[in-house]
Chains A and B, each alone.
Chain A
Amino acid sequence: MKLCSLNQIAAAVVLSLAVAGCSTLGGGGSGSGDGAAVSDAGSATSAADAAGAWRGNPLDNPNSPLAIRTIFFDYDESQIREDHREVVIAHGKYLATNPNVTVTVEGHADERGSREYNIALGERRANAVRSLMMTQGASDNQIHTVSYGEERPLMVGADEDAWSQNRRAELLY
């Protein structure tokens, strides 16, 4: 369940998605959640079959890490947090295996500080997501980035609850 721990985004609902997500990724149940297991497509298929295979577009599978489209960041940081890396990696792999698919990565910041600096910070977050996806084989021309800085908050509010939701990158397919 090592893989699953990477997906503990926050709420129980997300966690349940993550547990199921392990099946699709191939690590579920095997207990060997290392890199090799993730890329082991054979075991993924059997595990997924046992749980009921998803036959539609992988992006639409609610049990896949691909269902998670928002990556959160720490204050004034653009480094992808450990608990979010696996989601970004899954998207990178998906893009690598689907070279005709393109995605827009929107970078966002919380409302504190100056607006243009936050535009720059949002761009750096979007670029961090892009870089990690490219290490998985996604190509540059599949990924479009844009930063809205603090202009498009997810949550209205002036406390850490709201701010932590607003410091994010969003993947829009």
Chain B
Amino acid sequence: MNKILVLFIVLFWHFQAFAALTIEITEGAEGALPLAVVPFGWEGTGVGPSQDIAAIVSGDLSRSGRFKTLPESDMLARPHSDAEVEFRDWKVLGMENLVVGRIQPNGADGYLVRFQLFDVFKGSLLTGYSIPATEADLRATAHRIADLIYETLTGEKGAFSTRIAYVESIPAADGKTRVTLRVADADGYNPQTILNSPDPILSPAWSPDGLRLAYVSFVRGKPVIFVQEVFTGQRQQVAAYNGINGAPAWSPDGRQLAMTLSKDGNPEIYILNLATKALRRLTDHYAIDTEPAWSPDGRNIVFTSDRGGKPQIYRVPVSGGRLERLTFEGDYNARASYSPDGKSLVLVTRQGKSYRIGALQLGSGRLQVLSGGVLDESPSFAPNGNMIIYATKTRGKHELAAVSADGRVRQRLTLEGGGDVREPVWSPFAKSNRRNQ
């Protein structure tokens, strides 16, 4: 089984002009900052850029739950630069911050996007940038602007330029179901299918550099763990033992993959060194041990085990050693993963008859229920720790939802068409920055 198969798979590029996911904020936050993003001016000739930069920035910021953005129809003026801004116009509307911008032609088919962020009450400029862009990366530019505004105003890094991966099942014309693994921008745009299968796909997991996805795909009636390059489609089979090959989880340095294998009789946690292919068994118990996740410092692994009779979360040092049970509330706690700061876990917790997303504070042991569905699962932190994306089921359909880490802001992300969307996982921050298209 040490032999690594290198396979090239066909990429199915599904470029879509419009969003595949529509995002709706179901519960708003008290204390969101009032902010206005004025539609950017176009200073060239012709129709200008295809994207409404201000609308994208505004959408990003309001989805974070930290901002309440002013509808365009309520604006008293449409300034495009500091020289045109009358702070009085925005004070009267109760705005605390204001964003204005303009787009100029830049070379044959490029743009220069300028924006400025103001403190309305102080009447001062907080920040401003000029960003060169092309038609193809206008949305990426808008997300970058949203990141800069978010970081300036909250002191935390924005996660608007990240992506999400998810599994979507689509009923096909032949009555069967096609299962696809897709990658989209964090706001649901630009969904691309990176794997298309008639059989189940499970547990996608981003590598820490955001360039690869590990996942489980059934091949000829057998679950197999693959690692796939997101941009090239090249993939490697990394585990295809007898029994379960499941729940891949990357170490923070990207060199090792924790996983569940049942090759020795029942599900245990193993650690695979991706370079040397050395495989080390971490747990040894006749109960189910599965769903490993690494702590951000790489020292510990949390996992689900029913060794106490019911599924609960346990922690074990990566080097092996003493096991510690972390969850004690209720009779079902599963699929835990760490927050980026390592201080808490998100997990699936059973509350009465409902399965919900919970956050466990590791310091106090306090479990806070964050979601309100009956069948919520697969929670995944945004890389800035501010939001958690998860799968939920409403009216018989699987959809994505997101909740702020404090549980105050909930959103539902609805897919256009008839697909069931599950297993969302939020990408890390891009290391090498934007791709060119």
- Chain A residues with CB under 8 Å of B310's CB are 76
Q: Provide a sorted-by-A list of 18 A–B residue pairs whose CB atoms are within 8 angstroms.
A: A113-B334, A114-B348, A115-B377, A115-B378, A115-B423, A116-B202, A116-B260, A120-B267, A121-B288, A123-B262, A123-B266, A146-B221, A147-B244, A149-B200, A149-B202, A152-B200, A156-B396, A157-B396
Which residues from A are CB-within-8-Å of B221?
104, 146
A151 interface residue per 8 A CB criterion: yes
Closest residue to B288 on the A side, CB-wise? A120
Q: How far is the CA of A104 from the CA of B311 in the complex (A)?
A: 27
Closest A residue to B167 using CB positions: A115
- Least CB distance from B227 to A in Å reads 17
Q: Which of A62-83 contact B (CB under 8 A)?
A: 76
Contact assessment for B375 and A114 in the assembled complex, using a CB-CB cutoff below 8 Å? no
CA distance A151 to B200 in the complex (A): 6
| Contact between chains at B304 and A151 (CB < 8 Å) | no
- Among A113, A124, A146, chain B packs the most CB atoms within 10 A around the CB of A113
Interface pair A113/B202, CB less than 8 Å apart = no
Q: Are B291 and A111 in contact (CB under 8 A)?
A: no
CB distance from B167 to the nearest CB of A (A): 9
B309, closest chain A residue (CB): A76
B393, A123: Cβ atoms closer than 8 Å? no
Known: A117-B290, A117-B304. A151 touches B202 (CB 8 A): yes
How many Å lie between the Cα of A157 and that of B375 in the bound state? Answer: 12
Let me know if B115 is at the binding interface, CB within 8 A: no
For residue B143, CB closer than 8 A to chain A, the reply is: no
Task: Give bound CA distance, A120 to B348, whole Å.
Answer: 16
Which A110-130 residues have C-beta < 8 A from chain B? 111-117, 119-121, 123-124, 127
Cβ–Cβ < 8 Å partners of A116 in chain B: 202-203, 246-247, 260, 290-291, 304, 335
Q: Are B266 and A124 in contact (CB under 8 A)?
A: yes
Contact A158-B374, Cβ < 8 Å, known A115-B423, A119-B223, A151-B200: yes
A76-B310, A151-B202 known, 5 other contacts, Cβ within 8 Å: A112-B375, A116-B291, A119-B202, A123-B262, A124-B288
Shortest Cβ gap from A60 to chain B (Å): 23
Shortest distance between the CB of B203 and any CB in chain A (Å): 6
Q: Is the interface of B mostly helix, strand, loop or mixed?
A: strand
Inter-chain CA distance A76–B262, complex, in Å, is: 18
Min CB gap B168→A, angstroms:
14
Complex-state Cα separation, A121 to B335, whole angstroms: 14
The answer, yes or no, to whether B206 is at the interface (CB within 8 Å) is: no
Residue on B nearest A152 in the bound complex, by CB: B200
In the assembled complex, which residues on chain A have CB atoms less than 8 Å from the CB atom of B218? 148
Closest CB-CB distance, A126 to chain B, in whole Å?
A: 10
- Shortest B96–chain A CB gap in Å is 41
Given A113-B332, A147-B244, is A119 in contact with B375 using a C-beta cutoff of 8 Å?
Answer: no
- CB neighbours (8 Å) of A120 from chain B are 244, 246, 260, 262, 267, 288, 290
How far apart are the CA atoms of A127 and B262 in the complex, in Å? Answer: 11
- As a 0/1 sequence over residues 242 to 285 of chain B, the CB contacts with chain A under 8 angstroms (1 = contact) are 01101100000000000010100011000000000000000000
Contact A117 B375, CB 8 Å, known A151-B200, A151-B202:
no
Q: A119-B246, A120-B290 are in contact. Are A114 and B378 (CB under 8 A)?
A: yes
B222 CB-CB contact with A under 8 Å: yes
Please measure, in the bound complex, the distance between the C-alpha atom of A112 and the C-alpha atom of B373, giving whole angstroms: 12
State the CA gap A72–B408 with chains docked (Å): 41
B350 near A: Cβ within 8 Å? yes
Contact with B along A35-64 (1 / 0, CB 8 A): 000000000000000000000000000000
Q: Which residues of A contact B290 (CB under 8 A)?
A: 116-117, 119-120
Contacts of A149 in B (CB 8 A): 200, 202
Residues of B within 8 A of A147 (CB): 223, 244
Asked whether any CB of chain A lies closer than 8 Å to the CB of B355, the reply is yes
Query: Does B260 lie within 8 Å of A113, measured CB to CB?
Result: no
Smallest CB-CB separation from A121: which chain B residue? B288
